[in-house]
Amino acid sequence: LVVLVLVLVLVLFSMCLFPMATGNEDKCRLKRGFCLRHYCPTGTHRAGTCAPGLVCCRR
């Protein structure tokens, strides 16, 4: 029983620290943006996050 409780606490804690997705491609497009890996190119700025490792860039 103790092991089960510890596993449950660990799973809930990791879900709080590492959420699955903070945005998505559709929301980025609604902002008139596009998704790229890690950094936005020169002349654009970061408008949000599409997924872990993907940023939403906008001109």
pLDDT (tens digit per residue) in 4-52? 787 766 665 554 444 444 578 999 999 999 999 999 999 999 999 999 8
pTM (2 decimals)?
Answer: 0.59
Dihedral over Cα of 27, 29, 32, 36: its sign: positive
pLDDT of residue 18: 46
Residue 17's pLDDT is: 47
According to DSSP, residue 20 is labeled S
List of domains in the chain: 21-59 (3.10.360.10)
Q: Which residues of 34-50 are buried (b: 16+ CB within 10 A; e: fewer)?
A: bbbeeebeeebeebbbb
